Amino acid sequence: MTTVTKPEGAPAANAPDGFLSVRDLQVTFSTEDGPVKAVDGLSFDLARGRTLGIVGESGSGKSVTNLTVLGLHNPLFTKTDGEIVLDGKELITATEKEMEELRGNRAAMIFQDPLTALSPFYTVGRQIAEPYMKHRKVSKKAAWERAVEMLAKVGIPNPRERAKDYPHQFSGGMRQRAMIAMALVCDPDLLIADEPTTALDVTVQAQILDLLKDLQQEFGSGIIFITHDLGVIADMADDIMVMYAGNAVERGTVDEVLRAPQHPYTWGLLNSMPRLDSDLDTPLSPIPGSPPSLLHPPSGCRFHPRCTFQDRVAGAAGRCVDERPLLGPDRASACHLTADQKRTIFIEEIKPRLA
Ligand code: SF4
């Protein structure tokens, strides 16, 4: 069974516009080797009509967080604490029946690989029509018409004919479009896109991103966009949350975080991005080391084993190893460096390397 604990002294259960509010989320998996805390005290809000980009390496907790929002973890192996409120409805304590009603209707997900969402045994049209028929209680014929309409909306040529095709008869880009059509068929308030364009070539990727932006304008959904690619975030998102080892380390608007990043991990991510204007022989500068094991996470600041700035932190020696920095509200970064140090280091040492 999923174990549920309400956070002590958590803020009132409502987001700024009454949309999505996550407070002190903790997700722990039972494994053979012991409990793994994949998300550890995460809080964030999403307003309707805005896009939140969540960025971080594998294992940062970004996908786990969003699968939790949709109640997609196996409750036998998962303990979830904290609070997730979507439009006034608490989701952690919701029954499986309530979550089923929510998924594909008010909240939907687009995955990296459409073949995980599309069945090879049914036509594309049927798979788009089914959630519409189920949630909107319409006839088969009306649902089929809606599927054809959605395929047209996502740019599938000759949609009435192509709706009768099976997924294997679609190209990779078309399957991705079909999955977007399936996710949006019930006009969800919340759309979660998990690396939706990673497997596609650059041209198709740009088309899919443009399509998502257009559809958001039309449907007014709140979007959570998960990626490891800061370039995609810059193009898609209004706000950014950078995650590392199960928690947020920096957040702000896209402009704030990309123009004046404050956290050493964000500096590392920016520095490791390939640049279009750089020589092909120019080596990339990856962040040294690798993400920590969440079975035995580092003490204090979880980024400390990889951080080259900890000797600049004022106060007791070893503060980064002993004391976990907390993330403040609004524009913030979880790091013991002072605001002045963050600004100066970025301008004098990091920015020239990014130019
Ligand atoms: Fe680096 Fe210390 Fe800041 Fe963590 S708290 S990011 S170890 S300087």
pLDDT at position 276: 56
Tens-digit pLDDT profile for residues 107-143: 999 988 887 789 999 999 999 999 999 999 999 999 9
303 lines ligand 1 (CB under 6 A): yes
Neighbours of 100 (CB within 10 A): 14
Q: Which of 243, 302, 306, 307 to mutate to test the pocket of ligand 1 (most atoms within 8 A of CB)?
A: 307
pLDDT at 178 > cutoff 90: yes
Residue 165 counted as domain residue = no
335 lines ligand 1 (CB under 6 A): yes
Please tell me the pTM assigned to this model.
0.88
Tens-digit pLDDT profile for residues 209-242: 888 888 888 878 899 999 888 888 998 999 999 9
Tens-digit pLDDT profile for residues 141-155: 999 999 999 999 888
Nearest C-alpha neighbor of 92 from the set 109, 122, 72: 72
With 0-12 / 13-18 / 19 or more C-beta atoms within 10 angstroms meaning exposed / middle / buried, residue 335 is buried
Residue 46 counted as domain residue = no
Ligand 1 atom 8: residue of nearest CA: 310
Can you tell me which atom of ligand 1 is nearest the CA of 249? 6
pLDDT-derived band of residue 7, with 50, 70 and 90 as boundaries?
Answer: very low
pLDDT-derived band of residue 294, with 50, 70 and 90 as boundaries?
Answer: very high
Domain boundaries, position 309: 269-354
d(CA 217, CA 309): 42
pLDDT at position 277: 59
304 lines ligand 1 (CB under 6 A): yes
Ligand 1 atom 7: residue of nearest CA: 304
301 lines ligand 1 (CB under 6 A): yes
Distance 324 CA to ligand 1 centre (A): 9
Residue 317 counted as domain residue = yes
> What is the chain's Cα-based Rg?
21
pLDDT at position 348: 95
Q: What percent of the chain has pLDDT over 70?
A: 92
Tens-digit pLDDT profile for residues 249-291: 999 999 999 999 999 999 999 988 876 555 656 666 889 899 9
pLDDT at 5 > cutoff 50: no
Can you tell me which atom of ligand 1 is nearest the CA of 321? 7
pLDDT at position 66: 92
pLDDT at 1 > cutoff 70: no
Total count of residues recorded for the chain: 355
Residue 285 counted as domain residue = yes
- What total number of domains does the chain contain? 1
pLDDT at 8 > cutoff 60: no
Residue 47 counted as domain residue = no
Residue 332 counted as domain residue = yes
Distance 321 CA to ligand 1 centre (A): 9
Can you tell me which atom of ligand 1 is nearest the CA of 301? 4
Nearest C-alpha neighbor of 167 from the set 126, 201, 200, 205: 126
d(CA 237, CA 220): 14
Residue 315 counted as domain residue = yes
Tens-digit pLDDT profile for residues 14-69: 345 558 999 999 999 999 999 999 999 999 999 989 999 999 988 899 999 999 99
Residue pair 43/56 in contact (Cβ under 8 Å)? The answer is: no
pLDDT-derived band of residue 247, with 50, 70 and 90 as boundaries?
Answer: very high
Residue 3 counted as domain residue = no
What are the contacts of 152-156 at 24+ separation with CB within 8 A?
153/181, 153/184, 153/215, 154/178, 154/180, 154/181, 154/184, 154/211, 154/215, 155/207, 155/211, 156/181
